[in-house]
A and B are shown apart, each in its own frame.
Chain A
Amino acid sequence: QVTLKESGPALVKPTQTLTLTCTFSGFSLSTSEMRVSWFRRPPGKALEWLARIDWDDDTFYSTSLKTRLTISKDTSKNQVVLSMTNMGPVDTATYYCARGSSWYSVDYWGQGTLVTVSS
């Protein structure tokens, strides 16, 4: 059974760095073709892809946010970590992690974690 769960602070202050952890089970990120992506959905707005890390350590970032994002993995802990610098109110959103089992699919999602940016 594949599960993913996001964890991190519910509230961050403007200019701070957000660090989120995705802890998963039911698959290994050392297995060929496995990937984990981060997404977000601001209140009342559309889903947005943020970043992806692949089983072979390749990383990919949204063009519009790449200067602020870092994605990494700890295969032994079954975790993927996303850092986003210089947080602002527009970054208030529910953040999700999800698995991809091929280049062109996203299948299992976490429940999401709401992050509010406010002083």
Chain B
Amino acid sequence: QAVVTQEPSLTVSPGGTVTLTCASSGAPVTSGYYPNWFQLKPGQAPRALIYSTYNKHSWTPARFSGSLLGGKAALTLSGVQPEDEAEYYCLLFYGSAQLVFGGGTKLTVL
């Protein structure tokens, strides 16, 4: 099974910009992996942010954006807010409908 890798932790100042990345073992991430991004906060249901690389759900704040960057999927937060402190997971779709998550990035807003 493929291994999906994310930064374990990142720190950003309020109002700043941060990019989280998502890499797949053995091959660059392309749009064909349909990267999804999710936000997890303690005690809350996971919240979907991005699907199919860069598409936002109706509830996704404008400061979140998805892209492909250097062979990886990327989630960029611009104008970070204190409430963005959370864990973020990417999800890649592999052939024959195998869905694989990255290990998650713990984002600290400090």
**Chain A contact residues, CB within 8 Å of chain B:** 37, 41, 46-49, 52, 60, 62-64, 96, 98, 102-112
B45 near A106: Cβ-Cβ < 8 Å: no
What CA separation (Å) do A104 and B100 show in the bound complex? 12
Q: In terms of DSSP, what is the predominant structure of the interface of chain B?
A: strand
Please give, as numbers and ranges, the residues of chain A lying within 8 Å of B44 by CB-CB distance: 111
B45 near A37: Cβ-Cβ < 8 Å: no
What CA separation (Å) do A10 and B27 show in the bound complex? 40
Quick one: closest A residue to B100, CB to CB? A49
10 A-B pairs with the lowest CB-CB distances in the bound complex, closest first: A104-B34, A105-B51, A49-B99, A60-B97, A47-B101, A109-B45, A109-B46, A111-B45, A46-B103, A107-B48
Please give, as numbers and ranges, the residues of chain B lying within 8 Å of A106 by CB-CB distance: 36, 38, 48, 51, 91
Please give, as numbers and ranges, the residues of chain B lying within 8 Å of A41 by CB-CB distance: 40
B48 near A112: Cβ-Cβ < 8 Å: no
Q: Given contacts A52-B99, A105-B51, A109-B46, is CB(A63)–CB(B104) below 8 Å?
A: no
Min CB distance, B2 to chain A, in Å? 10
What CA separation (Å) do A112 and B68 show in the bound complex? 30
Please give, as numbers and ranges, the residues of chain A lying within 8 Å of B38 by CB-CB distance: 47, 106
Known A49-B98, A96-B46, A106-B48; further 16 A-B contacts with Cβ < 8 A: A37-B99, A41-B40, A46-B102, A46-B103, A47-B38, A47-B89, A47-B91, A48-B101, A60-B96, A60-B98, A63-B98, A103-B34, A104-B34, A104-B93, A109-B47, A109-B48
| Count of chain B residues with a beta carbon within 8 Å of a chain A beta carbon | 26
Is B76 located at the chain interface by the 8 A CB criterion?
no
Interface string of B23-52 (1 = CB under 8 A from A): 000000000001010101000111110011
